[in-house]
Amino acid sequence: MACGTPVIGSNVGGIKYTVEDGKTGFLVPPNDPDNLASRIFQLLGDTSLQKKMSSNAIRRVNALFTWNKVAEMMSSLYERILMLNTDFRDDEEQSILLIEKAFDQATETIQKTQALLSIPILKAASMATSVLRKNKKILICGNGGSAAESQHLAAELIGRFEITERPALPAISLTTDSATITAWVMMSASRKFLRGRLKHSASQETFFSASVQVDNLLMLSAR
C-alpha cells in the first residue's frame, strides 16, 4: 500500500484494519479461494479501479502508518495506561529516586575514601607481595560482613580465575564460622577476638584483619 499497490487480504486480524475494503483493496473471507480468485480477476481487469485504489492506499498509509504516526499512537497508548494507574507510577518514581540516591551516596563515599585508603591499600599490597615472595602465607579474617569479604579475598588469591598463568597463592581465611557469629563478636569483644587471632598466627605469616568500622578499616598487623 505504501508503494501504491492495492492489496487483497483475508478479513482477519490486523489486515481488517490495514486494508480498507473496496477503497485500498479488497477483504475476502478466509479459506475462500473462489472469492479470492474473483477479486483478483476483478482488479486485474479494471485499470481505473487499480489507479483509484492505488491513490487511496498511499493516502491511507501516510495518514495512519508512517513511523511518526505509529510512534505517536504507541506513546498515546502507554500514557493512557499509566494515567489509569497513577499509584503504581508514583511508587515507581519514588523507588527510582531512592535507587539513584543510593548510587549517588556510594559514589560520594568512594570519592571521599580515595585519599584515606590509597596509602593503606598500597602498604597492604606491598606487605602481601613481600610475604608471598618469601614463600609464606597470608592469614585473613574479618567481623560480620567482613568475614565474607575475607573468604572472598582468600578465594581470589588461591584461585587464578582469568589469570591462568599465575600460580595459586597461599592464603587462609580464618573466619570459617558464619558472618553472623562474628558479628556478635564485633558487637561484644572485637578487640579480644582480634588479639586471639593474632596470638595463633605464626611469626613468619602476615595477618590481615578487615572491619567495616571506619577507624578499623583495613587494619593490618604483622608479626
Structural domain ending residue among the three candidates 26, 46, 66 = 66
Q: Judge whether 126 lies within some domain.
A: yes
Mean pLDDT of 171-192: 56
- Number of structural domains found in the chain: 2
Q: At what angle do helices 67-84 and 86-133 cross, to 10 degrees?
A: 100
Structural domain ending residue among the three candidates 50, 66, 82 = 66
- Same domain for 134 and 45: no
CATH of the domain at 201: 3.40.50.10490
Structural domain ending residue among the three candidates 24, 48, 66 = 66
Q: Judge whether 93 lies within some domain.
A: no
Separation between Cα atoms, residue 24 and residue 3, nearest integer Å: 12
Q: Judge whether 51 lies within some domain.
A: yes
- Same domain for 215 and 150: yes
Structure pTM? 0.41
User: What's the CA dihedral at 112, 117, 122, 128 to 10 degrees?
Assistant: -140
Q: Judge whether 90 lies within some domain.
A: no
**Structural domain for 46, as ranges:** 7-66
Model confidence pLDDT, tens digit, residues 15-46:
888 999 999 999 999 999 999 999 999 999 99
Model confidence pLDDT, tens digit, residues 70-92:
888 888 888 877 777 666 566 77
